Amino acid sequence: MLYGNAVQNYYVDEVRKVCAERKARLAKIKTKKDAEAYVKDVRAKILRAFDLPKEKCPLDPVITGERKLPGMTLRNVVYYSRPEYPVTAMLFIPDKAKNATGVLFLCGHSEIGKADSVYQTCAINLAKQGFVVLSIDPVNQGERHQFSAALTKKYNLHCCNAHNMQGKQLHLCGEYFGAWRAWDAIRGIDYLQTLPEVDPNRIGVTGNSGGGTMTTFVNALDDRLIMAAPSCYITTWQHEVENELPADIEQMPPDMLRYGLDMADFVIARAPRPTLIMGQKNDFFDPRGTVEAYEDAKAIYSLLGAEDNVKVFVGPDSHGYKTANRLQMYSFFNLHGLGKKKSPKEDEKLKPLPEEETWAAPKGVVKNLKVNKPLFTYINELADALIAKRKKLSRKEMQKTLTEILQIGKIEVPYYRVLRLRYGEKRKYTATCRYALETEPGEVMSMLKLHCQDALFHIPAAEKAILYIPHLDAESEVEKVKTKADERLFSLDVRGVGELVPTGCDHWSRKFFQQYGYDYHYNSLGYMFHRPYLGGKVRDILCALELLKERGVKNITLLAEGQGTVPALLAAVLSDIPVAVKLQRGPESWESMLRKEVTLWPLSCMLPGILGVTDLPELRKMVKNLTFTVAAEPSEPENLFG
């Protein structure tokens, strides 16, 4: 596939530009005043991106169980981070604790959440050292699974896929799943501060992987912490993009690259707070970037007179909160949390509790609590509120609004390359003429094709033409497209489909609609740049229409299939070139994607907060000559024309 690296290379170039500009900015910071200004700036940008709730509801904590352990007491706790939205937790209180330092422990991606043996090991050993430790379940993990066993099995909704599923539904409502996760943790700090055994002014946070992510974020978002130790998350965005690393939707915070920030800035945002940055030698979160992030933070900390407050440790193991990293964290927290210069060892006799002893909810399921509002209910309430407030816009007003949301930039006739033809004797069309369109400056991001019987090395004029926007791949799908004798048939593989399908970024499978695959990954990057991936697809179509018009193609019918109907419809609304539009087997609406618990329509069909602006049925009404057929879910290629 000649252009299978196009999307990847585009984002590599873009992230390198951002990172180079940031490095140049850091190089100009020479004084304490400069450093303080930078800290203030990045903190404000992070807070703006997360847009946390302005008010806090009552925690309404409930102790549902209590048992004595050697040297401590374990309480099973439920508190409410939002009205009726429960967080399940374990609270470890050392014997004779008084004015103790609290630690919020944030779990990584374990299906059993806080019951995971490694996370129990961390929490119990910290309690043995004198810390009061609160370990909480992330949503869709531990006791907080949101999907039924049947749905989980049918759609493989383990914790990562479940995060991405509900994350994309929140996305339609203009909400960031990572902010919901961070808020659960921030309310955990609130709970620690209410405890008589805890000094409310002495609380730290640590976690690994997904918990390292949340530790990183909460560290930047909350001004009450005295220390932080994120493990196995912090690297650099450049390494993340270059290494083609998909991450959970909460791990890709919006607007970070738009604002010119890197992961190190989450540490810098609270400089000179004592922070230990940890990674692993054999981690997919590139440890080279872990060290680079530390160097960036150290430079700022040094100007603030606190060089020793930030440390880095790269363990000898693979991804995980392994022993070496835990020991480093214990020493760091003893120094900055207890004022003790010591290197505690772990209790080798310690045995993790059975999972059922970690439960705070009946049978370990929050759905069994008397007070429990599922995240799915919140998503629907958010959608209801947005739809109720939505204003009616004229087409001109809609064009202006969508242009801003999609960030498509100025549309011009694109430069194109004439590529080698493809022949197929057994095909309906003997020749496929191929024109690579540079729809980004100097970058081929879409492939225009002419399907005919002759070898043509130019784009011919035509009185009538179809421009086909595929579901997954134009060349295989056009065989079923019906044309009239006087119609030319063109097709367009927009970025991310057909000849522009990324050849890398493999994770668990090559299936397009896999919740954690390449399509999801590049859409997440667009989110971080504040340039939606969907906007790029719309740009590709608009540029192709301009090119066909310039080459003398008239009376164009824009024919789209499946997921291709979404960018095609948006292009039809935005374009001033009159086209007839035929949308086949597309989604009914954006609203329909969140009215049931599971949608297989990809994140790349969605826009942030779009339900507060418009929906697909309204947009279809704005196009005069349009027909539409609906599909409940996207089809795989073999079912496209069934």
Percent of the chain at pLDDT > 90 equals 92
Answer whether residue 8 is part of any domain. no
In this structure, of 152-156, 176-180, 183-187, 437-441, the range with the lowest mean pLDDT score is: 152-156
Query: How far is the first Cα of the chain from the last one, in angstroms, to the nearest whole number?
Result: 27
Q: Is the pLDDT of residue 291 over 80?
A: yes
Percent of the chain at pLDDT > 70 equals 98
HEC string of 182-235 equals: HHHHHHHHHHHHHCCCEEEEEEEEEEECHHHHHHHHHHHHCCCCCEEEEECCCC
CA 570 to chain centre: 23
Answer whether residue 19 is part of any domain. no
Which residues have C-beta within 8 Å of that of residue 111, sequence separation ≥ 6? Answer: 141, 142, 158, 159
Q: Note whether 563 and 601 are within 8 A (CB).
A: yes
Q: Is the pLDDT of residue 2 over 80?
A: no
Which residue among 383, 415, 434 closes a domain? Answer: 383
> Which of 495, 486, 482 is closest to 429 using CA atoms?
482
Which residue among 351, 383, 415 closes a domain? Answer: 383
Q: Note whether 456 and 450 are within 8 A (CB).
A: yes
Mean pLDDT to the nearest integer, 155-169? 94
In this structure, of 57-61, 113-117, 425-429, the range with the lowest mean pLDDT score is: 425-429
The position carrying tokens 């602006």 is: 613
* H/E run at residue 90: strand 85-94
Confidence of residue 406 (pLDDT cuts 50, 70, 90): very high
pLDDT in tens, 559-586: 999 999 999 999 999 999 999 999 999 9
Q: Is the pLDDT of residue 137 over 90?
A: yes
How many angstroms separate the Cα of 19 from the Cα of each of 12, 258, 261? Answer: 10, 11, 8
> Which of 559, 565, 552 is closest to 580 using CA atoms?
559
Instruction: Look at residue 641 in the predicted model and tell me its pLDDT.
Output: 38
Q: Do 90 and 70 reside in the same domain of the chain? A: yes
Mean pLDDT to the nearest integer, 474-481? 92
Instruction: Look at residue 638 in the predicted model and tell me its pLDDT.
Output: 40
Confidence of residue 598 (pLDDT cuts 50, 70, 90): very high
Strand, coil or helix: 246: coil
Mean pLDDT to the nearest integer, 164-191? 98
Q: Is the pLDDT of residue 639 over 90?
A: no
Q: Is the pLDDT of residue 20 over 70?
A: yes
Q: Do 359 and 439 reside in the same domain of the chain? A: no
Whole-angstrom distance, CA of residue 217 vs CA of residue 515: 23
> Which of 502, 22, 494 is closest to 244 using CA atoms?
502
Instruction: Look at residue 636 in the predicted model and tell me its pLDDT.
Output: 60
Mean pLDDT to the nearest integer, 430-459? 94
Q: Is the pLDDT of residue 426 over 80?
A: no
Answer whether residue 9 is part of any domain. no
**Amino acid occupying residue 632:** A
Characterize the bridge pairing of strands 446-452 and 488-493.
Answer: antiparallel
User: How many structural domains does the chain have?
Assistant: 2
Joined together, the tokens standing for residue 456 give: 């043509």
Mean pLDDT to the nearest integer, 45-59? 98
Q: Is the pLDDT of residue 474 over 80?
A: yes
Confidence of residue 504 (pLDDT cuts 50, 70, 90): confident
> Which of 92, 105, 119, 333 is closest to 227 using CA atoms?
333
What are the φ and ψ backbone dihedral angles of 78, each rounded to 5 degrees? Answer: -125, 130
Q: Note whether 300 and 35 are within 8 A (CB).
A: yes
CATH number for the domain harbouring residue 630:
3.40.50.1820
Q: Do 375 and 423 reside in the same domain of the chain? A: no
Joined together, the tokens standing for residue 429 give: 């069309």
Whole-angstrom distance, CA of residue 134 vs CA of residue 354: 18
Q: Do 513 and 635 reside in the same domain of the chain? A: yes
> Which of 460, 463, 453 is closest to 547 using CA atoms?
460
pLDDT in tens, 527-557: 999 999 999 999 999 999 999 999 999 999 9
> Which of 186, 217, 90, 145 is closest to 374 using CA atoms?
145
Answer whether residue 476 is part of any domain. yes
Q: Do 221 and 175 reside in the same domain of the chain? A: yes
Q: Do 397 and 496 reside in the same domain of the chain? A: yes
Mean pLDDT to the nearest integer, 123-144? 98
Q: Do 567 and 632 reside in the same domain of the chain? A: yes
pLDDT in tens, 325-363: 999 999 999 999 999 998 899 988 889 999 999 999 999
Joined together, the tokens standing for residue 367 give: 């759905």
Instruction: Look at residue 507 in the predicted model and tell me its pLDDT.
Output: 62
Strand, coil or helix: 534: helix
Burial category of 230 from C-beta neighbours within 10 Å (exposed 0-12, middle 13-18, buried 19 and up): buried
Mean pLDDT to the nearest integer, 244-248? 93
Whole-angstrom distance, CA of residue 521 vs CA of residue 447: 21
Tell me which residue range forms the domain holding 631. Answer: 390-639
Whole-angstrom distance, CA of residue 185 vs CA of residue 172: 23
> Which of 444, 605, 591 is closest to 532 using CA atoms?
605
Which residue among 383, 407, 429 closes a domain? Answer: 383
pLDDT in tens, 453-464: 888 999 999 999
Instruction: Look at residue 425 in the predicted model and tell me its pLDDT.
Output: 66
Q: Do 354 and 493 reside in the same domain of the chain? A: no
CA 154 to chain centre: 23
Q: Do 149 and 254 reside in the same domain of the chain? A: yes
> Which of 195, 179, 229, 208 is closest to 49 using CA atoms?
179
Question: What average pLDDT does the structure give for the chain?
Answer: 96
Mean pLDDT to the nearest integer, 611-622? 98
Q: Do 333 and 475 reside in the same domain of the chain? A: no
Q: Do 409 and 375 reside in the same domain of the chain? A: no
| Helix boundaries (H) for 500-623 | 518-529, 533-550, 565-574, 616-621
Q: Is the pLDDT of residue 1 over 60?
A: no
Instruction: Look at residue 588 in the predicted model and tell me its pLDDT.
Output: 98
HEC string of 462-531 equals: ECCEEEEECCCCHHHHHHHCCCCCCCEEEEEECCCCHHHCCCCCCCCCCCCCCCCCHHHHHHHHHHHHCC
In this structure, of 113-127, 204-218, 513-527, the range with the lowest mean pLDDT score is: 513-527
pLDDT in tens, 505-523: 866 677 888 888 899 999 9
Answer whether residue 623 is part of any domain. yes
Joined together, the tokens standing for residue 629 give: 């057929």
Burial category of 417 from C-beta neighbours within 10 Å (exposed 0-12, middle 13-18, buried 19 and up): exposed
Joined together, the tokens standing for residue 309 give: 């407050």
Q: Do 362 and 479 reside in the same domain of the chain? A: no
Answer whether residue 2 is part of any domain. no
Answer whether residue 6 is part of any domain. no
Q: Is the pLDDT of residue 265 over 60?
A: yes
Query: What sign for the dihedral angle of Cα 543, 545, 546, 551?
Result: positive
Answer whether residue 298 is part of any domain. yes
The position carrying tokens 């050993």 is: 125
Whole-angstrom distance, CA of residue 558 vs CA of residue 541: 10
